Amino acid sequence: MATSKNQRSTIPVNPESSALADELRSQLKGKPTKSGFSRSVFREIMGFAGDVTRVVVVIVLCLCFLFGGFGAGMLLGYASTTKPLSIGDLTTAEESQTSFVYDSQGNVIAKLTGSENIDRIYVSYGSIKDTYIDEAIISVEDQRFYEHSGIDIKRIGSALISALAHGGSATHGGSTITQQTVKLISGQDEHSTSRKVQEWFSAMELEQNLSKDEILELYLNLAPMGNNYVGVQAAAQNYFGKDAKDLNLNECALLAGLPKSPSYYNPLRESGRRNALRRMRIILGKMYEQGYITEDEYNEALNTEVVFKERETDRSVQINSYFTEYAISEVITDLAEARGISRSLAATLVYNRGYHIYTTLEPDTQAVLDEAFKNRDLFQADPDALADYPEKPTGSMVVINTSTGAIAAMQGGYGEKTMNLSLNRAVSSHRNPGSSVKPLIAYGPGLELGIIAPGTIYVDEECHLDPSNPNSVWPVNYERDYLGPITIRQGLVKSRNTIAAQVWTDVGGDTALWYLKQVGIDRTSEGAFPSQSVGGFTTGMTTLEMSAAYNTFASGGTYTQPYAYTQVLDSEGNVVITSNPLSYRVYSAETCFLMADMLKGVVTSGTPSKYGGQLTNAAGEHIDTAGKTGTTSDNNDKWFCGFTPYYAAAVWYGYDNRLRQTSIPKPDRNNAVRIWMYCMQRIHENLPGATFVKPDSIISVQVCSSGYYPTDECRAAGTTYTDYFVSGSMLCPSEDRPCPIHVPTPIPTPEPDPNAQIPDDQTTGGV
């Protein structure tokens, strides 16, 4: 349909001829069943008096607030804390510029704009001014847009009266387009008096600094349009298959109605499309009433079908990797926080202002994960057995460089990634960790506090550690048996639940949660429960959280918040933002070595030993490898988390369970270990042999199975073994605390014979 702004009329329209009246008449059927005016005169008078009272109350409240000393003081206080809006990047450029994402070696791994990004494309107001999109927005959102200075007192008053008249729910809002733009820029939408007043001041400030056209440009580019589309250009391309500059009257009116409730008016759903078309007709009516379109244009628009774009199943756009999407998200989050702007505005800047984003991605490491996560043999031991399953198994993996704490590689799901912004299980799926959390919440804190050492003896026996059921046996071991007195090393390697729960109890639940928080996994809001010692949490862990937590042991005790980018430059090479990850010491070097040495035993003697065990490079040189398996009691989740001197990594394996809870089949229950060992072996192929650094304070000491310094009898009984201890610690066996169990057999003292004669030379005499 061809329309032109030269055809517009400003002739007032009679109410009975308005579009709203036409819309109402089109929905009326039949005839009234009772009088529409049946109230008594008394009720009419009382109703009128009530309306007058409401208006008077509102006016009095407003006057008191605006001119009263208390109200004025509050206004000044709110105004003084209003943060200035940061919009320089958007208002200094006319056209979008392509942004680039680089890996750690400077290779381009993604482009962000144009055909590579159809969800958020910035357009100048000049390019769309000849359409009706601006008039459509103004007619429905802010008909006095060109008259007010940021806030519309009449509209605010009308909204207040409407709210009072309708039990607190106004029939329309009081925000102007300028105020809505402020929200889109700042991201602040808190419903409070202070926030609203600050919004008013920000709106007036925006009007002082920008023209009306510039404000409209910001709104039209930042408005949410549903389905992750932001701005009129992205909406035009995705809903109608055309640029915003080519939109016709109907399409402009339809898009103008989406920001009010993008989900309710979602054109990609049948019900949403019907809602959007109804709102489009209302907006067309408003445009006619306000003189933006002629009667002929209005009638022609009502009789013209809106043609939506067919949804494409295969878009010829770049599919960004899980890592790339995560890195971009981190940049957007950090930029929004640093600049005090909304994530939506920050995303618009990142995608449209020619930024250069330098990430921590190691291409060779990522290539290994990419290959592994397309290898069906690693995920399905018997594909035929899974034929009737409602979904196929999947997984996630994160690899962190131990020397920097940076994310080297990431995979968020099995198979080829076919769409952007799909579920990234590495950062968004929280799954219970099973026994893989034991080093983080029990053994690590126990070592650091000096409560345990690898050679400390605990008794693997029936326990009653559930305070809510003190008469029940809890926890039980996976094997449903007990080994009696064993060392902490044995308890960890054999993953005995009883030992982990006892250590957790000795550490203290709150202290254990504190240490867990220190390594980036904050579950303090859940409170302390013994089940946490064996992986029972209300909110599970992500693969990224677990890999970063284990990296604390690999790095010698320093936790570094995992990061995916180093810096962002603008199109002229100026630094926009740099990564400044949080980093601090959690564990001593001694704790980290002892933990690593114990976890080496898991890799050497446990399930990982079946899939390669301790890593070696291409030359056959040994690379120390430590790790811990994790399994939930229902076998819905499998984990393996571990580290070498070079990298820390975590793997989760299981089902999304969107349709039902799926237990992992027995042949696939070692797949998390298989994936971890497969990837880490290839990642370390060309790295030199390496061992975990042993601090000088760690000494090797012989100890008796009783936990004490061995005596000769202990050695004779064969109850001694050698383990690592921190020199000088109270747990380190010493000669002054010998074994009280294995002691020398005493020689019996003979009883004296009373009849025996005493030799003369042993008698005494007197004179």
Which residues does the annotation mark as catalytic? 141, 435
User: How is residue 163 written in tokens?
Assistant: 């709210």
Residue 408 identity = A
Cα 676 to Cα 609: distance, rounded to the nearest angstrom: 12
Give the bridge partners for 411, in sequence order.
397
Cβ-based neighbour number of residue 73 at 10 Å:
10
755: tokens are: 């009849």
CB distance 202 to 82 below 8 Å: yes
Which structure tokens are listed for 271?
Answer: 């019900």
Place of tokens 């494309």: 121
**What residues form DSSP beta bridges with 357?**
101, 568
DSSP alpha helices (H): ranges in 468-614? 488-493, 497-507, 509-518, 543-554, 589-605
Residue with token string 């007619």:
139
Q: Decide: 237 and 118 in contact? Cβ < 8 Å.
A: yes
The total of other beta-carbon atoms located within 10 Å of residue 304's CB is 12
Q: For residues 622 and 644, what is the distance between their CA atoms, to the nearest angstrom?
A: 11
The candidate with the shortest Cα–Cα distance to 451, out of 629, 625, 594, 600, is 594
Cβ neighbors of 438 (< 8 A, separation 6 or more) are 492, 495, 500, 533, 534, 535, 628
* Tokens at 296, concatenated: 């002929």
**β strands within 622-729, DSSP E:** 622-623, 626-631, 637-643, 647-654, 698-704, 720-726
- Residue 713's Cβ-count burial label (10 Å; 0-12, 13-18, 19+) is middle
